[in-house]
Structure 1
Amino acid sequence: MPQSFTGESDESDHIVARLEDPLEIGGVELPNRLYRAPLLECAGNGEDSVETLLRELEPAAESGVGLICQGATIVRGEGGCAAPGMTRVHDPAFVSRLSRLTDAVHDHGSRIFVQLEHGGLRSMETWHAGYRAENPELRQLAVSRPPAVLRLLDRVGFLDYDPHVLSTAEVYDLAADFGRSAEYAVEAGYDGIHIAGANMGIVQQFLSPFYNRRDDEFGGSLAARTRFLEVVYDEIRERVGPDVPVVTKVPAETTAPAFVRRHLSLADGIRICERLADVGFDALVPVQASVFWDASIVRGAFPARAWRDERFRDGYGEAFGSKPRAALVALLNWLQSLKYDFDPAWNRPFTRRVSSRVSVPVLAEGGIRTRAQIDRLLAEGACDAVGMGRPFYAEPRLPARLLESPNAAVACENCNNCTVPQATGARGVCRTPSVLAKRGELRESGAYDRPGNPDREES
């Protein structure tokens, strides 16, 4: 399998689906096969949270996207947030207010799923110095005692671990929290539930032999390590019934550093997907990942502009403990960017193999940037739907272009200047002048216009 994927067409390809074709996931029909992948909307739980989500998500629906996956929302009332600004969905009174968002999405003919998560060892109480100082009583939820390399980072003061290892009963309690949050979301009009099974959150920590050293029913074999996700599924099903789609990301830790010997191989990831399809999950999102929260998540250029931006310098210092420590994090970010350069459609080897093994829809995301790539992925049966993340920061109304033009390519330059400021609580928006200029040109040319949905100026 080539490492690069440009998306050129081949006359021998047999088109089994088109981007404009509808897709059914667990009884819910999507109007097309393009979706907005989960991103950090930075909406929080304040008085303006719903307005923030409307501002961030409604433009995708207005411009014709088939599905919006609202980014990671936390299933408990304290702890568990991997970054500032995450929304919590543990409170039914708050979640009920989100019906304004789901109604707006439905009015435009799109569907919306909510992604449920808990960060576990990846939570802010581990890495965000200011948050730790404000919440000294918070402990990370841990699947097992942290691996030796993480304990070393704790000893040298780079991270701060005071983990609480979940008992067997507490694992079931956490799964029940996923179920309750799913129930609140469905009552608020969400069409489906998306589990954050990768990006080093607690679900991946259960799946991964790097993190999971348990000796109860949730640890040991691959089947046992998958059990937490199966219990989460059962809890959700019990509360929302059989007609609400339940989707999950599934990791293969193929980008783990060489010194990490215990991790999920590509074969492990495929076996997990097969098992989850048999359990009843309605769609799967296979992603290649690391065991660490590193640049393999957002491959591309080093975000030099973001690190130099004076607007965020104080925020970086608060997050990482001081400005010199923030400079060290920036150096590590630069070193990681050398290894994880941009690779078009980097999850394709995984999604293609899973697609040949399971009967449920397989969703692909990660480095898909042109309509030609989308058409090729669908034509070869590598997936059933295609998601994009960061390009929506650059072009909130991107679907209008991708759905209309076979030659469309995103304006996003994979520079990652949108992601680093999120450590300070800043919005996930594009700030790169060349990309903003391109978006302005496209807007002026009417590229984002759709009948009945004239383009509006973006905030």
Structure 2
Amino acid sequence: MPQSTQLTDPVTLGGVEIPNRLYRAPLLECAGNGPDAVDRFISELEPTAASGVGLIFQGASIVTEDGGCAAPNMTRVHDPTFVDRLSRLTDRIHDHGSRLFIQLAHGGLRGMSMWHAGYRERNPNAVQKAVSRPPWQLRLADRAGLINLQPDVLSTDEVRELAEAFGRAAGYAVDAGYDGIHLSGANMGIIQQFLSPYYNDRDDEFGDGVQFLLAVRDAVREHAGDVPLVTKVPVETASPPFVRQHLTREESLDMARRLADAGYDALVPVEVSVYWDMSVIRGAFPDKAWAAEDLQSEYAAVFGGRWRARAVEVANRLESRWFDREPGWNADFCRAVRNAVDVPVLCEGGLRERRHCDRLLGESCDMAGMARPFYAEPRLGARLLDGDNRALCESCNNCTIPQATGEPGRCRTPSVVRKRARLDKDGVYDGKQ
């Protein structure tokens, strides 16, 4: 039977026409807010647009003036003057016919003050916005000195103000030319913390975590109008066995229905843990990154000493063996969500081949996304949309671990870098679908 929906087919998302169904999933651009931030975004994202990718999600951007950053060099979008400068970026993306959505985020308990020793040393009074009192497992880790919890549990009024911060940032982004808003609803950010029974033990209206996303929806509509609004929908089935309270599939499907009925224009279902672990970036143990001589002192500074860095490395090695790496590992959950809602469903997670994308389209999802492969090949779209089957990315994760030190996301696997150089020299990336 011929495939009825293909990667090159156009699609409409919240009234915005997208030229094809391939999207760049959110990644850390590590651009910060300095004088060269806009140029860094352009150098990171414009090649992807030039390669024909229909939709680009700019990575998690923090909506508050302080706190909330889960990694070094994340960009803050609370300041309208700074966000207005990003219109140079949106213009460049639109010149190539692509669409650009911004992902809005806040780390909550996952903020750098919890895990980054160097950041704590520079900011000794930093606290983490918390939905409720942290779970006992995190409190135990704090007492053991593995993390540093300083939770500031949000009052009801502070929750409403945080939702307003998301809405204001959305308004600034739309004024700067962004085509849509994507909410970071997973990866242990504060939205997942509201949605998860592991974190949310509130006794006010926001004890129902969906109410926070409804408050964000209202704030976005007030400040940004009818801009397309997308959110990740987590299911916490990848959590460790000792975690008894977590989002089940049935609970997450119910959330998806409620959000679609409430006016969310598209959903991104993802299978995650309650922790920030390799359920997010499944793949091989990043041995080359951990062994890099030039990063050893940086790892020690980040994790609080060489022995602590080695302990994190060992935990990283164990996690790399724990999680399933099946291409499109979110596809089954995406299919269930797609059968339950009437809005587009986007699938990401381990997709590396054109044939996998085409197989899932129309069955499990309406758009197919990749993230880390764009670190390896910023102009990957030119190959995939032209029918070339596989991204060069080997899911080795050597690009991700150095980001804990503030390093930009880039491929550090020599064999992949050499292959890309050969393809570039041969002009493979020069074409565009």
TM exceeding 0.5: yes
User: Secondary structure of 1:145's match?
Assistant: coil
Q: Which whole-Å CA distance do the structure 1 matches of 2:344 and 2:17 have between them?
A: 12
2:409 maps to 1:428: yes
TM-score by length of 1: 0.93
Q: Which residue of 2 aligns with 1:228?
A: 212
Q: Which residue of 2 aligns with 1:386?
A: 368
Query: Aligned ranges for residues 240-259 of structure 1 at < 5 Å?
Result: 240-242=224-226, 244-259=227-242
Q: Which residue of 2 aligns with 1:8?
A: none
> Does structure 2 conserve the Cα–Cα contact (< 8 Å) formed by 1:342 and 1:414?
no
2:383 maps to 1:395: no
> Does structure 2 conserve the Cα–Cα contact (< 8 Å) formed by 1:154 and 1:160?
yes
Tell me how far 1:418 sits from its aligned partner.
Answer: 0.2
Tell me how far 1:343 sits from its aligned partner.
Answer: 1.8
> Does structure 1 conserve the Cα–Cα contact (< 8 Å) formed by 2:29 and 2:44?
yes
Please point out which of 317, 340, 359 is paired with 1:376: 359
Deviations 1:213-255 (A, max 9, x none): 1111111xxxx2211011001100111112x100000100010
2:201 maps to 1:213: yes
Q: Which whole-Å CA distance do the structure 1 matches of 2:275 and 2:216 have between them?
A: 23
Tell me how far 1:193 sits from its aligned partner.
Answer: 0.3
Tell me how far 1:445 sits from its aligned partner.
Answer: 2.5
Q: Which residue of 2 aligns with 1:175?
A: 163
Q: Which residue of 1 aligns with 2:290?
A: 307
Q: Which residue of 1 aligns with 2:424?
A: 443
Deviations 1:391-447 (A, max 9, x none): 000000000000001x41010000000000000000100010011111112212222
Q: Which residue of 2 aligns with 1:413?
A: 394
Query: Aligned ranges for residues 268-347 of structure 1 at < 5 Å?
Result: 268-347=251-330
Tell me how far 1:341 sits from its aligned partner.
Answer: 4.7
Identity of aligned residues (%): 60
> Does structure 2 conserve the Cα–Cα contact (< 8 Å) formed by 1:301 and 1:341?
no
> Does structure 1 conserve the Cα–Cα contact (< 8 Å) formed by 2:238 and 2:323?
no
Deviations 1:247-272 (A, max 9, x none): 00010001011111110011211111
The runs of 5 or more residues in structure 2 that have no matched partner are none
Equivalent residue pairs, number:
433
Q: Which residue of 2 aligns with 1:47?
A: 35
> Does structure 2 conserve the Cα–Cα contact (< 8 Å) formed by 1:283 and 1:363?
yes
User: Secondary structure of 2:340's match?
Assistant: coil
> Does structure 1 conserve the Cα–Cα contact (< 8 Å) formed by 2:347 and 2:365?
yes
Tell me how far 1:342 sits from its aligned partner.
Answer: 2.1
Q: Which whole-Å CA distance do the structure 2 matches of 1:95 and 1:41 have between them?
A: 15
The runs of 5 or more residues in structure 1 that have no matched partner are 1-10, 454-459
Q: Which residue of 1 aligns with 2:25?
A: 37
Tell me how far 1:312 sits from its aligned partner.
Answer: 1.1
Deviations 1:121-147 (A, max 9, x none): 011010000101111121100000000
User: Secondary structure of 1:215's match?
Assistant: coil
**Cα RMSD between the aligned structures?**
1.0
Deviations 1:308-329 (A, max 9, x none): 1011111111110111110110
Please point out which of 127, 132, 143 is paired with 1:144: 132
> Does structure 2 conserve the Cα–Cα contact (< 8 Å) formed by 1:83 and 1:423?
yes
Q: Which whole-Å CA distance do the structure 1 matches of 2:295 and 2:163 have between them?
A: 36
> Does structure 2 conserve the Cα–Cα contact (< 8 Å) formed by 1:43 and 1:85?
yes
2:187 maps to 1:199: yes
> Does structure 1 conserve the Cα–Cα contact (< 8 Å) formed by 2:338 and 2:345?
yes
2:85 maps to 1:97: yes
Deviations 1:15-60 (A, max 9, x none): 3422111111111110111010000000000000001101110000
Q: Which whole-Å CA distance do the structure 2 matches of 1:251 and 1:234 have between them?
A: 21
Q: Which whole-Å CA distance do the structure 1 matches of 2:186 and 2:171 have between them?
A: 22
Runs of 4+ with >3 A deviation: none
User: Secondary structure of 1:448's match?
Assistant: helix
Tell me how far 1:182 sits from its aligned partner.
Answer: 0.4
Q: Which whole-Å CA distance do the structure 2 matches of 1:323 and 1:95 have between them?
A: 38
Question: Which one-letter code corresponds to 2:213 in the other structure?
Answer: L
Q: Which whole-Å CA distance do the structure 2 matches of 1:348 and 1:342 have between them?
A: 12
Q: Which residue of 2 aligns with 1:456?
A: none
Q: Which whole-Å CA distance do the structure 2 matches of 1:436 and 1:289 have between them?
A: 30
Q: Which whole-Å CA distance do the structure 2 matches of 1:289 and 1:118 have between them?
A: 17
Question: Which one-letter code corresponds to 1:382 in the other structure?
Answer: S
Question: Which one-letter code corresponds to 1:231 in the other structure?
Answer: A
Q: Which whole-Å CA distance do the structure 2 matches of 1:393 and 1:298 have between them?
A: 13
Question: Which one-letter code corresponds to 2:404 in the other structure?
Answer: A
Tell me how far 1:375 sits from its aligned partner.
Answer: 0.7
Q: Which whole-Å CA distance do the structure 2 matches of 1:64 and 1:273 have between them?
A: 30
Q: Which whole-Å CA distance do the structure 1 matches of 2:144 and 2:199 have between them?
A: 20
User: Secondary structure of 1:42's match?
Assistant: coil
Deviations 1:71-107 (A, max 9, x none): 0000001110000010000000000000000000000
Q: Which whole-Å CA distance do the structure 2 matches of 1:99 and 1:315 have between them?
A: 34
> Does structure 2 conserve the Cα–Cα contact (< 8 Å) formed by 1:299 and 1:343?
no
> Does structure 2 conserve the Cα–Cα contact (< 8 Å) formed by 1:89 and 1:181?
yes
Q: Which whole-Å CA distance do the structure 1 matches of 2:12 and 2:327 have between them?
A: 27
